[in-house]
Structure 1
Amino acid sequence: MSKINLETERLILREFTENDLDAVYRIFSDEEVNRFLPWFPVKTPEEAELFYRTHLDPEHGKKIYSCAVCLKKENIPIGYITVGAADSYDFGYGLRKEFWHNGIITEGAGALINRLKQDGIPYITATHDVNNPRSGSVMKRLGMKYMYSYEEQWQPKDISVIFRMYQLNFDGQKDRIYKKYRDHSENHFVEEIT
């Protein structure tokens, strides 16, 4: 994982630390915030600490970036943006619901996308549950393009989900499409997305 410390007009994007465990609990314990995410909401501060160690800790190493999204005035995480280190360069985000509809993730993600371009990352992908179109709206605002939809038995929740896959290429290869999600799904198709 690379070190990160970015600022925007309203935000600081930085690494999570052990001092953020209360904030991690607030973000990842909310059922509504985590409804469309692969994991179950954490139920105790101990589960939040385990989640931090396995998903957010800079030493974990499965992400290129795992950013705490903080308002400048407090520098306390209210959300996160991550970029996976696998060949999908999976771009993910979440935000405490009292901060929804203020453009916070779009603002922070735009800054991180600029950093990814500087780092030479060729592209990013992002997926959203068809039942969560607001997440797709964020992807569109970031300049990501819809590529295809596919069905997956999502773990650990063990539910069938139709995902829409979006992609943003940084290196000029406009026709590149990351196909692994599609190729691993028997049920894949292209929708008319407006």
Structure 2
Amino acid sequence: MDTRRLETGRLLLRPFGPVDLEALYLLLRDEEVNAFLPWFPVKDLEETRQFYEQRFMGQAYSLAICQKGDDIPIGYIKAGTEDSRDFGYALRREFWHRGIATEAGRALVDQLREDHVPYITATHDKNNPRSGGVMRQIGMHYCYSYVEQWQPKNFPVTFRMYQLNLDGREDRVYSAYWDRYETHFVEEGL
């Protein structure tokens, strides 16, 4: 993927830039938005800049979610390039429950498929089932659950691991979390 923009019916997905720091700060400072994310809310624009540089700058599949017409980020969507190819997203609270994460996710999945990325994984805290709903709506399938002492927040979390194989290899299951964490299991009915 190059730095082209992805468009959907309502959204524009594009790389983040330094000009987006204030919009990103609105997202990253919100305690409720960040409750199920693996970091604490940022305190100021400097922490936002550090977050941007570490997690978004130069990352091929870390994109700002913008509404068409204003080009101001209301969230992000990403897929990592490391072995887990971790898929994730966050939206400002006032944009929740509108299908935006699903719409953005489908567009990114289409791009990943076009770019021959073999698979993506995603995890969600079992106490955040709506996130699992987004994963299922973009075609991901539940594989297993595991318990992790979540850092830096330092409390145990049961995560549900989902995967989407984009290359047709339906038998592939990313097993690193299963192997890494002593407590792991498959939940029935998911």
TM range (shorter): over 0.9
Q: Provide the identity percentage.
A: 58
| Contact 1:121 1:170 (8 Å CA) reproduced | yes
Partner SS state of residue 73, structure 1: coil
Distance 2:146 2:125 in 1: 10
Q: What's the offset of the Cα at 1:193?
A: 3.1
Structure 1 residues without counterparts, runs of 5 or longer: none
Q: What's the offset of the Cα at 1:10?
A: 0.6
Q: Which one-letter code corresponds to 1:151 in the other structure? A: V
Q: What's the offset of the Cα at 1:4?
A: 4.2
Report the counterpart of residue 87 of structure 2 in structure 1.
91
Pair 4,151 (structure 1): closer, same or farther in 2 beyond 3 Å: farther
Distance 2:55 2:113 in 1: 23
Q: Which one-letter code corresponds to 1:25 in the other structure? A: Y
2:135 to 132, 139, 164: 139
Partner SS state of residue 107, structure 1: helix
Partner SS state of residue 61, structure 2: strand
Partner SS state of residue 101, structure 1: coil
Q: How does the TM-score come out when normalised to structure 2?
A: 0.97
Alignment pair present for 1:35 and 2:35:
yes
Q: Which one-letter code corresponds to 2:131 in the other structure? A: S
Distance 1:76 1:191 in 2: 39
Q: Which one-letter code corresponds to 1:55 in the other structure? A: R
Distance 1:4 1:87 in 2: 24
Q: CA RMSD in A?
A: 1.2
Distance 1:64 1:166 in 2: 22
Q: What's the offset of the Cα at 1:90?
A: 0.5
Report the counterpart of residue 7 of structure 2 in structure 1.
7
Post-superposition Cα deviations, 1:95-148, rounded to whole Å, max 9, x if no partner, equal: 001000110111111011000001000111000000000000000111110000
Q: What's the offset of the Cα at 1:79?
A: 0.4
What pairs up with 1:39-58 in 2 under 5 angstroms? 39-58=39-58
Partner SS state of residue 9, structure 1: coil
Distance 2:138 2:159 in 1: 18
| Contact 1:4 1:67 (8 Å CA) reproduced | no
How many residue pairs are counted as aligned between the two chains? 190
Distance 1:139 1:193 in 2: 16
2:180 to 165, 181, 184: 184
Q: What's the offset of the Cα at 1:154?
A: 1.3
Moved over 4 A (4+): none
Distance 2:36 2:189 in 1: 20
Q: What's the offset of the Cα at 1:3?
A: 2.5
Distance 1:121 1:157 in 2: 31
